[in-house]
A and B are shown apart, each in its own frame.
Chain A
């Protein structure tokens, strides 16, 4: 027979103000197995914990029930108290009298008291069946994989590498830098984006602890926290980067011109190219879709001209295997494709209706116009420019329900840049709200208003071409009147959405995505850089729209988590995980597909029964590094062979009986 102690906490007046705690303790003394019960003002306090420890020793308690708050708050506290008293910490059961009773039933204290008695009876019934549990140890590979080489991935990789751990940074584009290097100036301080990001790119390339794979993708991920096995696909560049010196002769002479995606399709690049002059690595790749050689035409100009013989049209994709202990997903964002959704803005058929990122390239000194604001259709300098915010954002009918968080600020910046660069220009900004939550942001917006930008509150209902003007029709809802602007150019602040391929990456790492396709963080407030898969972290816009300061902060946060994990050569796993009773398991493997963490796989065991020859059969096996103790397998298991430790069928049924019978 177990010897159970019940400790009822007042939590000051949180519980004590509603429930009669001394009466509860007296009642608990009559439950089967209870040899000691007591109430106390603050059980989590030092004297409260000492009360538990003393009682365990004095009354030789071997199970403890604490009736207080949610186990999410103090289960760990009381487990440690048990351990200090020499008991296995898992011989603790909590009854949640606060969140589940006194807070929600404060107006009905009598009924609350009855419920509280039931809650304690339930906990005592389960406690009687608790078994000591131990967590196991798994080794940790002290390396990290960072997927995505934008500012989030760069910052994260640098922070981890600076802490002394090896980092493998994988970027699918020919250069790292992501979207940030495309930007001209950054709000609210107007510092040049390239000036602050290219030094970090160079630091990545030259860091002894960082192994950089560009033009590469993660093809497979196996294993679990501390022990991931990664297969990286290095796409064929058709240029031998060991021989190439980046001299530039090839892309100067290449005859194929291709719309330049780095410049948002404004301007052209060659089929052999580097995306921009400060690219890292500063060596070209061949775009096989547009190269004449790969389209069965005569050319081979680059091969003939290359002074080091680096061109290799026969190059193939290669695969590299790496082992890491942690993974950071930092795959970033792309802009919502408004041309497929917004017919009233012309479905993209008016060349002078552009996106915010295209405007960035137009004002950028390294962009296709050398920093002169010229409209795409005829190269004229636009005098009247309309900026439309929330294109795709906050528009459930056409795009996304969420706010993209950066458009208010970059539109204010665009208007400021237009008014500064183009004399006698006019900026009209159609908005629904102006959201400026950031240091110095509201001040920046007000400065743009003072610059002369006209903010009009209302959505634009139609844009159409009339002569060489774009007629923009909207409403000033503050006046309650329709308004019209004849513009030279229109800039749409289109929504941010997760970069293409995020689902594939999420599936590879086993992290769920939310309804908008962003990677789901483990907890929106308290675990913002972790995912639901242990050892997999998240940084930057793949988790949700955010600006550069927030991205960098989150990347450093993820790096701190990774460094914490990699600082130990071994880690203990959770003790409350699934376990297979091999005698009962029929090997049906129904548990395998329902496991969200890919923690279950088949295993062949040899069975020896008396009087029979040994025979082999398949059973399920749980990987203790991957299992998170969610219990899906427990539900799926027909013979009841899989149980979650600490939540066994017997324990759960005892709880149900204690409440219902």
Chain B
């Protein structure tokens, strides 16, 4: 598909500003050396490798990035960030893109991953920390794959790695307040 570059200046600049605001990173600095892709453990599975995600952002091709599976496959290991010669925190950019795609409901290419993120964050909001059993059951129910990792669950349970009851932590209120604050900030954007 031929890319029309003409007249995209405003789109490009807005996108760069938005990404910069959400991630604190200046995408224009990327000079396409490919070191991020070279070191990425999941790049082979991505539909768009990390350096091309940066390139698409530079050209203002927002939709292709937000609809990609790449931003969801990113494991946030931050190998790219550690190695980037231009000092761009690529993992932070990926995170910001995921957040935006999630908000805009653009999760077609990675439904289960987005779902996992939602369930995980809901659990944190509710309990203040992760409740593994609840998270696993919730995820399996919602994906319809009821017995996924059930064998592993038994092993964890017998060894006391996961419990039946939701954990209680000090400062659960503070965590909830963090979530509220973030919601307010996102609404204000």
Closest Cβ neighbor of B6 among chain A residues? A486
Q: List 26 A-B contacts (CB under 8 A).
A: A424-B9, A426-B9, A449-B29, A449-B31, A450-B28, A452-B9, A452-B12, A454-B5, A454-B58, A454-B59, A476-B3, A476-B55, A476-B59, A478-B32, A478-B52, A478-B55, A479-B52, A479-B55, A479-B59, A481-B1, A483-B2, A483-B3, A483-B5, A484-B2, A484-B3, A485-B5
A454 cross-chain contacts in B, Cβ below 8 A: 5, 12, 58-59
Which residues of A lie under 8 Å from residue B4 when comparing CB positions? 483-484
Given contacts A428-B5, A449-B29, 15 further A-B contacts (CB under 8 A): A426-B7, A446-B29, A454-B5, A454-B58, A457-B32, A478-B32, A478-B51, A479-B52, A482-B2, A483-B3, A484-B3, A484-B5, A484-B6, A485-B5, A486-B7
The 0/1 profile, CB within 8 Å of B marked 1, for residues 411-441 of chain A is 0000000000000101010000000000000
Smallest Cβ-Cβ distance to B2: which chain A residue: A482
CA–CA, A428 and B6, complex, Å: 9
Are the C-beta atoms of A384 and B2 separated by less than 8 Å? no
B132 touches A (CB below 8 Å): no
Does any Cβ of A come within 8 Å of B119's Cβ? no
Please tell me if B46 contacts chain A, counting CB pairs below 8 Å: no
Contact partner of A485 (CB less than 8 A), chosen from B6, B12, B28, is: B6
Residues of chain A contacted by B32 (CB below 8 angstroms) = 457, 478
Given known contacts A454-B59, A478-B52, A384 and B7 CB-to-CB distance under 8 angstroms: yes
Alpha-carbon separation in the docked complex, A63 to B32 (Å) = 65
Residue A456 at the chain B interface, CB threshold 8 Å: yes
B12 surroundings in chain A (CB, below 8 A):
452, 454
CB atoms of A449 and B52 under 8 A apart: no
Closest residue of B by beta carbon distance from A449? B28
Q: Report A443 CB to chain B, min CB distance, Å.
A: 13
Chain A residues near B3: list those with CB within 8 A: 476, 479, 481-484
Interface string of A609-641 (1 = CB under 8 A from B): 000000000000000000000000000000000
CA distance A428 to B13 in the complex (A): 15
- Complex CA gap A32/B48 in Å reads 78
B56 on interface, CB distance cutoff 8 Å? yes
CB neighbours of B5 from chain A (8 A) = 428, 454, 456, 483-485
Given the complex, which residues of B lie within 8 Å of A487, measured CB to CB? 6
Name B1-50 residues within 8 Å CB distance of A: 1-7, 9, 12-13, 28-29, 31-32
Closest residue on chain B to residue A482 by CB atoms: B2
Could you tell me the distance in whole angstroms from the C-beta of A473 to the nearest C-beta in chain B?
Answer: 8
User: Which A residues are in CB contact (< 8 Å) with B28?
Assistant: 449-450, 452
Distance, CA A484 to CA B6, complexed state (A): 7
The number of residues on chain A lying at the interface, defined by a beta carbon within 8 Å of a beta carbon of chain B, is: 21
Interface of A is mostly: strand
Residues of A at the B interface (CB closer than 8 Å) are 384, 424, 426, 428, 446, 449-450, 452, 454, 456-457, 476, 478-479, 481-487
Provide the bound-state CA to CA distance between A426 and B2, in Å: 19
**A424 CA to B13 CA, complexed, in Å:** 12
Within 42-84 of B, Cβ neighbours of A (below 8 Å) are at: 51-52, 55-56, 58-59
Instruction: Say whether, besides A450-B28, A454-B58, A481 and B7 are in contact (CB < 8 Å).
Output: no
Which B residue's beta carbon lies closest to that of A471? Answer: B6
* Contacting residue for B13 out of A384, A452, A476, A483, CB 8 A: A452
Q: Which residues of A contact B55 (CB under 8 A)?
A: 476, 478-479
Residue of B nearest to A483 (CB): B3
Cα A463 to Cα B168 with chains together (Å)? 68
Tell me, in angstroms, the Cα distance from A408 to B32 when the chains sit together.
17
Name the CB-closest residue of A to B26. A450
A457–B3 Cα distance when bound, in Å, is: 14
Min CB distance A123 to B, Å, is 53
Say whether B2 contacts A481, CB under 8 Å. yes
Q: Tell me, rounded to whole Å, the shortest Cβ–Cβ distance linking A152 to chain B.
A: 33
In angstroms, how far is the closest chain A Cβ from the Cβ of B21? 17
| Distance between B57 CB and nearest chain A CB, rounded to angstroms | 11
A504 vs B87: C-alpha distance in the bound complex, in angstroms? 54
**Chain A residues with Cβ under 8 A from B52's Cβ?**
478-479
Contact with A along B158-188 (1 / 0, CB 8 A): 0000000000000000000000000000000
Q: Which 3 A-B pairs have the closest CB atoms?
A: A486-B6, A483-B3, A482-B2
Give Cα distance in the complex from A152 to B4, angstroms: 44
With CB as the reference atom, state the residue of chain B lying closest to A445: B31
Interface centre among A449, A450, A457, A478 (most CB of B within 10 A): A478
Q: Which residue of A lies closest to B34 (CB)?
A: A478
B49 to chain A, nearest CB (A): 11
Question: Distance (Å) between the CB of B111 and the closest chain A CB?
Answer: 26
Q: How near does chain B come to A241, taking the closest CB pair, in angstroms?
A: 53
Assembled-state Cα–Cα distance A452/B32 (Å): 16
A433 to chain B, nearest CB (A): 11
B36–chain A nearest beta-carbon distance, Å = 13
Q: How far is the CA of A484 from the CA of B8 in the complex (A)?
A: 12
Give the Cβ gap from A128 to chain B, nearest Cβ, in Å.
63
Q: How far is the CA of A446 from the CA of B86 in the complex (A)?
A: 11
Q: Kindly provide the distance from the CB of A616 to the nearest chain B CB, expressed in whole angstroms.
A: 77
A454 to B28, CA, bound (A): 9
Measured CB to CB, the closest approach of chain B to A408, in angstroms, equals: 13
Q: How far is the CB of A474 from chain B (nearest CB, A)?
A: 9
Closest A-chain residue to B10, C-beta based? A424
A516–B2 CA distance with the chains assembled, in angstroms: 38
A454, B58: Cα distance in complex, Å: 8
Tell me the bound Cα distance from A485 to B59 in angstroms: 12
Closest-CB distance, B26 to chain A (whole angstroms): 8
CB distance from A261 to the nearest CB of B (A): 34
Write the chain A residue with the least CB distance to B56.
Answer: A479
Q: Which residues of B contact A486 (CB under 8 A)?
A: 6-7
**How far apart sit A469 and B56, CA to CA, in the bound complex (Å)?**
25
Q: List, in ascending order, chain B residues with CB within 8 A of A449's CB.
A: 28-29, 31
Question: Complex: how many Å from CA A266 to CA B51?
Answer: 43
Name the residue in A446, A450, A479 with the highest tally of chain B Cβ atoms < 10 Å from its Cβ: A479
Residues of A within 8 A of B51 (CB): 478
Nearest CB in chain A: distance from B94 CB, A: 18
Q: Interface readout for B131-163 with A: 1 if CB under 8 Å, 0 if not?
A: 000000000000000000000000000000000
In the bound complex, CA of A591 to CA of B102 (Å): 86
**Nearest chain-B residue to A481 (Cβ)?**
B3
Q: In the assembly, what is the distance between CA of A479 and CA of B56, in Å? A: 8
Chain B residues near A483 (CB, 8 Å)?
2-5
Q: Could you tell me the distance in whole angstroms from the C-beta of B54 to the nearest C-beta in chain A?
A: 9
Residues of A within 8 A of B1 (CB): 481
Q: How far is the CA of A446 from the CA of B28 in the complex (A)?
A: 9
- Measured between beta carbons, the chain A residues less than 8 angstroms from B56 are 479
| CA gap between A483 and B5 in the complex, in Å | 7
Give complex CA distance A424, B7 in Å: 10
* Minimum CB distance partner of B1 in chain A: A481
Complex CA–CA separation, A476 to B64 (angstroms): 15
B13–chain A nearest beta-carbon distance, Å? 7
Docked CA distance A384–B5 (Å): 10
Chain B contacts for A479, CB-based, 8 A = 3, 52, 55-56, 59
Choose among B13, B29, B59 the residue with the greatest number of A CB atoms under 10 Å from its CB.
B59
Q: Give the distance to chain B from A632, nearest Cβ to Cβ, in Å.
A: 51
Please give, as numbers and ranges, the residues of chain A lying within 8 Å of B2 by CB-CB distance. 481-484
A456 contacts across to B, CB distance below 8 A: 5
Among residues of B, the one whose C-beta sits closest to the C-beta of A424 is: B9
Residues on B with beta carbons closer than 8 Å to the beta carbon of A426: 6-7, 9
Docked CA distance A482–B2 (Å):
5
Query: Which B residues between 72 and 111 are near A, CB-CB below 8 angstroms?
Result: none
Q: How far is the CB of B92 from chain A (nearest CB, A)?
A: 20
